[in-house]
A and B are shown apart, each in its own frame.
Chain A
């Protein structure tokens, strides 16, 4: 099972890195005479209403569909892990202040904020990614903080304090490895949430200019072609679902393996 999950994600990664190069056609090349045709030997997944090759557009779009969510996951994880460790280890006013800010942040309607931010500022996914990292981080900080609280009371952490180690060393060398299962699982969940949210934004026509090869945008642009070439809209939906499911399940499994390894 794990082999299948890793294979799915590895293939997605290959497509993201080398998609444009693997694409059989120029993703932007139009063949109006062809129109929206179904799958054929020349066009495996058919063409859209402008006669553009669906497979090529999927491959070319894999980059942006996967790169931004990875960026969100990395940003969220780095931010939430360090802030969560800090709050849970330091406690006191640092913790109190951070928790109140998080209470506020969690009360904000996420998708709405995203739509407003990207709608007002425009210009690609850049702002959306930043907004998303800010939106996802508070929940993760809470999780990391509560785990840190539990770990800092254990004898090994107290022994580290007794030895006079610097707080940063205790947090990152002693506590962090014992939080690893949760950190890894959280990172994958952030990736999935970002993948689905960004596709959603594209579908709503927010973020990328029309015509960009992008999975979410393709679903929106081609949803009228379900009778002529259903693959034009279905294929990106299937890909998003597949990658999201694989990442979620892998996160689950990694959590279990890592926890077993760390436990006695």
Chain B
């Protein structure tokens, strides 16, 4: 039995923030959860799936985030409690439906859980989902620690049902992927009955059809939506998760939320400022609780905002202060705008320490400067930086190798549009700098579709795009349909590594099993592409020469969109992990090292971590611990020095 459904009295476990959100949902009697994988959010759906049978849940990895919200919304319309979950970038994808859902409202409690990634530790950008709460006109809650990440969820479900609208709960990497002690509450019975009532009057919140349609009559739905926000603001005035610690009349008030509240508390404590600084930790960050804020602003002459990414608290609390100016007097504000905290990147205790040390003119030093200086000098000398690279045995390295060679051989200045997945490293040395554009999920195909139509303006460069198998279903299919229909002659290289690899092998519509372990229809990408009208070839990327030939052939074919499916499971996938196909060795007598005509192409360019340059012996050699025995490097050595022997 999973610890997530521990029913022991006073049970307490060390939980990740993501697990705490799951436990909170179970304590709230959740019925349906849907999402699309993305760091740091992916563990939430996986945890739900582990207890789905015991707790009578329906859980799915949806095709994309918009579909996930729609699936969860259906459950809410039928009176169940549901949740949809995604990383910040997913909210962009889901936003169209979310805007309409916020207008129609919901029935059973429904949460949008977003996990932001300040500092873009595992993202292509430093997104900020909090701004969506303002745009969508829905309430936003931000838990401040692990216990609260659990406790706030039942409260959020209740709020959603009180105001009949979706409620957004935002976590960040340092909560989602950090762990802390969480005391459990009781689990409710799991019986739930779903029924969609639609026979009542239009816009009746309980019995009418669920329709977002306010053509020329904004008062019909936008009016009630604004009333819901007013109710939420009123409820937020007494929300138990908004807390204040510090003296009654502090010299400085810190206004903060989320993981930043922990950094603030630590910094204040380290500097010994607990009697001089108060911390107002807000869990309800949109709409803001005006009276609560006014009360705390009135008590302090100086305010410091501690938050990550966009200065949203800073901007909106300043408005509250300005509106109450006559009552509470002028304030001195510190934060991102004053330059006391950075406007980008994630925060940490040190950045808050530096801000407080500057404001209070209290000197602070983490470690003696002489020591840190000496060790930093040693690190610069002895600890070479660790660049990002593909895993040993990764099919993407082999794919990019062939793509790069095909483009060079073609000789017309062709280029590749990049997409989202492990293969973003196609923009870097790890992927031989092959990709020349990189934006959002599926965008490579759309951009390539556009480039393909520029021939009439004299553009003669062949155009290619990459996408992964999960990305294909998520967002590349509409772009491919566009290219086929518009006869845009680009070549899509569909890098099918048999799962959503980057985030941990979540299934997608092309997978034979779903997250619950059920056998499900696997959509055949090859057949889909053919049926859509593309010219399709399939190749094993580990066969470098054949892949290169097929790609060169497709690049020459000028009439419409073409797809090359590069099919080979990820090296970390369950089907390949721990299995060696070949015993690979370097025949030192044949490796000519730097004197070889290839100028040691194997280590200098190919760059597999399993194949290393021995600077002393001046030969390449296999690192037995790292090599996974894919044998691809044997094909790139012109001297035949890399030898692979099939393992029976």
Q: A and B: partners? A: no
Q: Which residues in B have some Cβ–Cβ distance to A below 8 Å? A: none
Q: Which residues in A have some Cβ–Cβ distance to B below 8 Å? A: none
